[in-house]
Chains A and B, each alone.
Chain A
Amino acid sequence: MTVPAQNPQTVKQPQVQQQEWFQHLLEDSPLADNENPVSLNKFRLSARQSMKTAPVLNRKQEAWRYNRVDEVFKNNFDLKLDAELKDFRNINEAIIENHQLPQLNSLKLVFVNGCFDKTMSNISHLPDGVILSSIAATLRENPEWLKAWFKLNDKYAEQPFNALNSALFKDGMYLHIGKRVKLDRPIEIIYLNSKKTRSLQHDGSMLLTRNIIHLQAGASAQLVEYFISKKNNKYFYNNVTEILLAEKAQLKHTRIQDESRMAYHLSSLYVSQKKHSKYHSSSFAFGGCWAKTDYKVDFEAQQSECDLYGLYTVGNQQLIDFHLDVQHSVPSCCSREKFKGLIYGKGRAVFDGRILVAKQAQHSDAALTNDNLLLVKDAEVYTKPQLEIYADDVKCSHGTTVGRLDPQQVFYLRSRGIDEAHARRMLCQGFSEDVVESVELEEVRTYLAKKIASTLNETEQQTV
């Protein structure tokens, strides 16, 4: 039997497909907008340029090896909708209500389909020394505040999704806290997707937000972010967050990604830390069919600290990926990375935790762990701790585990009258406990515990 030759015109090389995918999005948007500040137009143009030369993403690159990024490029995302559903406030409020988010006395920003929604937000009565606004409004009203950012080398351009974000982001948050100002009220950001329509040509929207956070010397704040959507919505969320912590500044940061099981999600966080600054982050990933979160932390001066905690749950057909890259380039900094995964369906978890300790970074203190529980057969975990140490007087450790629930523990609980499913759930919640406990706000911890329990209820349905 002969196999008919495939028509070469219909089969695209992956790199061609990828370039076209990015170009298609760029073509949707004008090159420069006269209403924009010149510095932004320059910034965007430079991002476009770098995309042309950016390497094609493929499995041969360590950062994308287990990520199945090709799947992303099979979808036609575009920029069409943006504010289309903005006026349907009741729909958007219903989505927030469905997620039963914690009730906090907070400053709140709501982004609907990537655009700031003033009516749903609450950022009035800010204390002195605090600027909290949408990026779009800041660009309109006070573009000079952002000038410094756009002068920065476009150092995020090596990765095309981030360059795409630079070229096209519509909105996001701008937070600036002045010297020694301690912001007591937490800031909440809700990123909400409510678009429902899909067509043959259109798989969903590409939503791009950019956050710029600058804490001046001695300032402190607490930030909680939620990515949520309507069930079964398909779209691509692309978020880039840049955080600059000046001397002795402290930021506590919780991120909860609970998007639709059809959604694609990419978050990139860039953290720069000055002397004695502290960055504490707890990151939770529950949703998405393809969800990747990248952290890059640069210690720029001595005695700074960063703690990265994370928990991911992976069900059927989900791919959840965390990449951490912590750069100890100066002496005497401390970093902790603790990530845990509950793999309860036929999905894939990818964890890559890199800690680089440069030659001059003596007295660095770094510890990384990644523990995974496989709750079903055919679940996949790719975990890779990478400690690259060039200094000789350091304290560094790492450890990763992939295991199953201990039958002895399950039996112990069952012998006390607790049924098997509940016993397993209790042990999984116990497994996640220290990551949940890393969140300071009690209301958020309670929300997370409930969320984990309800996710694990799905386990039973999936394993039956």
Chain B
Amino acid sequence: MLSVKNLQVKVDDKQILNGLDLSVNAGEVHAIMGPNGSGKSTLSHVLAGRDGYEVVGGQVLLNNENLLELSPEQRAHKGVFLAMQYPVELPGVNNMSFIREAINSIHRARNEEELGTIEFLQRIRKTAALLQLDEKLLKRNVNVGFSGGEKKRNEILQLAMLQPQLAILDETDSGLDIDALRVIAEGVNTLRSPQRAIILVTHYQRLLEYIQPDFVHVLLNGRIVRTGDKQLALELEQKGYNWIMEEDAA
């Protein structure tokens, strides 16, 4: 589904990604781990099409289509979703109307029928309940005055409502207590499907206890230097990243 080849990205003239390769198939869950500054967030943002990143080499294909040529909204229409590390607040924009507008924008772009009010309400209430997200938050403005945990739940709520093909979770676990983490992980697990791929970008192994990945990649200095299964994550948890750095340098 997703094929990243030799991706090189600069931010403010500083090279952050140095020839990154990644291949993700439908139905798979990939975890991307790495120390601070290794390029994890850059990768997430470049895949979602955020401004401020200059792709200086390589390619990114989603279902054999050049993703890098598409605007952020077009990528969303093709089924890319990024759950953000720091979801922004949107004052004056109602959460429920926003999610509905997002769904319908995607439906319109795909020439599909818009979602009816009743169906939408049923789905969003069910999803909010699953994520133990207070229904009052649906009626509030997007993320305004939400706690850190509520913002993350709201990201997963959107993920569940938009049903993307490729879901990228950028440090969704950061700042969550253990109960919130479990609820969110359960929510993500219900979204695992043979048609969908999930990329978990994370510092810690903790999240992977709840969402079992098929592959674990280590990102270091803008490249994936090691790929393994969930054992690799455990090893990283025990030994840190230094041993890989040393081996990589050798």
Contacts and interface: CB of A to CB of B under 8 A. Distances in A.
Interface of A: 406-409, 411-420, 422-423, 426-427, 429-434
Interface stretch (B6-14, B91-99, B123-131): B91-99
Contacts of A409: 88, 90
B223 to A, nearest CB: 25
B71 interface: yes
Given A426-B93, A426-B101, A417 B88 contact: no
Contacts of A419: 71, 73, 105
A411 B72 contact: yes
Contacts, number: 79
B106 to A, nearest CB: 4
A418 B84 contact: no
A418 B162 CA distance: 12
Contacts of B211: none
Given A411-B50, A430-B93, A416 B102 contact: yes
B73 A417 contact: yes
Contact of A412 (B75, B84, B109, B162): B84
Interface of B: 48-51, 71-73, 75-77, 81-82, 84, 87-88, 90-93, 98-99, 101-103, 105-106, 109, 141, 158, 162
A412 B102 contact: no
Contacts of A415: 48-50, 72-73, 75-76, 81-82, 84
Contacts of A423: 73
Contacts of B48: 415
Contacts of A407: 51
A416 B76 contact: yes
Contact of B105 (A418, A431, A434): A418
Determine which residue in A422, A427, A430 has the highest number of CB atoms from chain B within 10 A of its CB, and name it: A430
A411 B106 contact: no
14 contacts: A411-B50, A412-B87, A415-B48, A415-B73, A416-B76, A416-B158, A417-B109, A420-B71, A423-B73, A426-B101, A427-B92, A429-B92, A430-B141, A432-B92
Given A414-B72, A417-B73, A431 B101 contact: no
B106 A417 contact: yes
Contacts of B91: 430-431, 433
Given A414-B73, A418-B102, A418-B105, A427 B90 contact: yes
A277 to B, nearest CB: 30
B51 A411 contact: yes
Given A414-B76, A418-B73, 7 more contacts: A409-B88, A409-B90, A413-B90, A414-B71, A419-B71, A422-B105, A430-B92
B51 A418 contact: no
B105 A426 contact: no
Contacts of B141: 430
Nearest to B75: A415
A413 to B, nearest CB: 7
Contacts of A422: 101, 105
A417 B76 contact: yes
A412 B88 contact: yes
A139 B90 CA distance: 53
Given A406-B88, A415-B82, A416-B102, A427 B93 contact: yes
A411 B105 CA distance: 15
A332 to B, nearest CB: 31
A413 B162 CA distance: 13
A416 B143 CA distance: 15
Contact of B88 (A408, A426, A432): A408
A430 B140 CA distance: 12
A409 B88 CA distance: 6
A311 B81 CA distance: 35
Contacts of A406: 88
